């Protein structure tokens, strides 16, 4: 009788393999979760929307750069732009402190000149270099402004915020005398990058006291835009 009962229990357990496939109830362990196949909407394909979003942002940046470059071509390079291109050419060839140059009060030493120098690596010293550098600088400003605007947003809200920023930054070109300053020779537009990056770091910094340190460090290049060799000696007037 006992053997028959044990045999019937074994047959019932073998008849239901899906209920306890690993014998968890007999061993006293919690039942193991059954593996789920990864389908088209599973975790294995979560990178596809991110890849598509990154591709869309990169394509939008490329289109903006081409638009800025086309607008920059409508104006010629002035003597101020040529002067900055020559300074960047000297920086590219190791003349970092600009010794011997008579520099003005706005030197653009910390941002615009390095961007010009990097552009001259690929295009050399010519008019095209100034146009490409101006479009690239304004694109960097746009990217920083968009990154600050779309913080803590998702979906259509992110796209709407980015569209508003781009519309505001491109609407200034409709004023005739703005375009040469924004996309011509290096001007104070590039300096806004340090302010935008400072605001972005303050927005992302979680710790107390960290935003102030981030702001002071990121704004330091904007405050020290004049190289050391360009500082004029001061003389006391004899009374």
pLDDT one-digit tens code per residue, 106-131: 778 889 999 999 999 999 999 999 99
Chain centre distance of CA 20: 52
Is 85 within a domain? yes
Is 5 within a domain? no
Is 164 within a domain? yes
Is 144 within a domain? yes
Ordered alpha helix ranges (H), 93-209 = 112-123, 127-149, 155-171, 179-183, 192-204
Q: Which domain holds residue 194?
A: 49-226
Is 18 within a domain? no
Ordered alpha helix ranges (H), the chain = 2-15, 24-27, 47-72, 79-92, 112-123, 127-149, 155-171, 179-183, 192-204, 210-223
| pLDDT for res 32 | 56
Is 189 within a domain? yes
Is 168 within a domain? yes
pLDDT one-digit tens code per residue, 40-59: 545 557 788 888 888 999 99
Give how many domains the chain has, as a whole number: 1
Is 198 within a domain? yes
């Amino acid at each position: 009788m006992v053997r028959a009962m044990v045999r019937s229990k074994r047959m019932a357990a073998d008849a239901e393999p899906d209920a306890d496939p690993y014998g968890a109830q007999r061993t006293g362990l919690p039942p193991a979760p059954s593996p789920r196949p990864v389908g088209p909407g599973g975790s294995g394909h979560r990178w596809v929307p991110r890849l598509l979003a990154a591709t869309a942002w990169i394509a939008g940046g490329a289109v903006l750069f081409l638009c800025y470059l086309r607008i920059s071509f409508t104006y010629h390079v002035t003597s101020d732009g040529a002067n900055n291109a020559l300074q960047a050419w000297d920086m590219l060839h190791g003349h970092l402190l600009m010794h011997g140059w008579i520099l003005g009060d706005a030197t653009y030493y910390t941002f615009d000149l390095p961007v010009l120098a990097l552009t001259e690596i690929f295009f050399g010293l010519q008019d095209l270099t100034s146009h490409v550098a101006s479009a690239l600088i304004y694109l960097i400003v746009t990217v920083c402004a968009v990154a600050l605007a779309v913080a803590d947003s998702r979906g259509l809200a992110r796209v709407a915020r980015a569209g508003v920023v781009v519309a505001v930054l491109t609407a200034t070109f409709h004023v005739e005398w703005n375009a040469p300053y924004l996309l011509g020779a290096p001007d104070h537009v590039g300096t806004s990058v340090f302010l935008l990056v400072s605001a972005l770091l303050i927005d992302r910094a979680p710790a107390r006291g960290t935003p102030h340190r981030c702001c002071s460090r990121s704004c330091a290049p904007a405050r020290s835009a004049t190289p050391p060799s360009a500082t004029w000696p001061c003389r006391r007037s004899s009374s």
